[in-house]
Amino acid sequence: MIDKQKIEQCIREILIALGEDPDRDGIKDTPRRVAKMYEEVFQGIQYTNDEIADQFGTCFEEDMDFLSKDGIILVKDIECTSYCEHHMALIYDMHITVAYKPKDKVIGLSKIARIADMVCRRLQIQERITSDIFYIIEKVTDSDDIYVKVDGKHGCMTARGIKKHQAVTFTEQKSGIFQQQPPTF
């Protein structure tokens, strides 16, 4: 569980270290707000990838032509935000694409987005966001053919430091049929 009281104390200390008056009207509730925000945006820290797979692993095992006819399923433009673990800066404008070729079951579509969303609610690097989603989708679907692509902007690279406002980072992980031929979409 996230220790909200401790976070509140620490944010108050940070405000003081910045030279702010933590009791002035505009920011007197900021420690409480930040603690509440962290509880929301870092919810995924308290779950392992296996627990996320259990939580969002709703699958359907119906007989369908689709499964025997080389069908693939692809969800694109899953919009997410996360926080880089080096600066705790926002990773934003992220679009996540997940594709897989089902073996003998399909996963509920919204669960793909829920998995991506929960993995992003951690201190992350983009490479690990990609591999965490890959691992969970592989575990839930048992598929040998998986494709995960993430693109995003890193606040630590656009709003500070090198300040390349347009720089977008792409990461991809793929297995099986997608190694030779990434999906077209």
Note the residues at the interface with Zn ion (CB under 5 A): 84, 86-87, 89, 156
- Answer yes or no whether residue 15 interacts with ligand GTP by CB under 6 A: no
Position among 41, 156, 159, 168 found at the interface with ligand GTP (CB under 6 A): 156
Q: State how far the alpha carbon of 24 is from the alpha carbons of 16, 21, 59, 175, in Å.
A: 11, 6, 52, 55
Give the residue numbers annotated as catalytic, written as ranges.
Answer: 84-87, 126, 154, 156
Q: Among ligand GTP, Zn ion, none, what does residue 176 contact (CB within 5–8 Å per kind)?
A: none
Interaction mask 89-128, ligand GTP, x per CB under 6 A: ------------------------------------xxx-
* Separation between Cα atoms, residue 182 and residue 177, nearest integer Å: 8
DSSP 8-state secondary structure symbol assigned to residue 77: E
d(CA 7, CA 37): 11
Those residues whose C-beta lies under 8 Å from the C-beta of residue 56, and which sit 6 or more positions away, are 111, 114, 115, 118, 136, 140
- Using CB under 6 A, pick the residue from 46, 161, 164, 185 that binds ligand GTP: 161
**Minimum distance, C-beta of residue 158 to Zn ion, in the bound complex (Å):** 10
Beta strands in 27-87 (DSSP E): 59-60, 73-84
| Site residues for ligand GTP per CB under 6 A | 84, 86, 125-127, 154, 156-157, 161-162
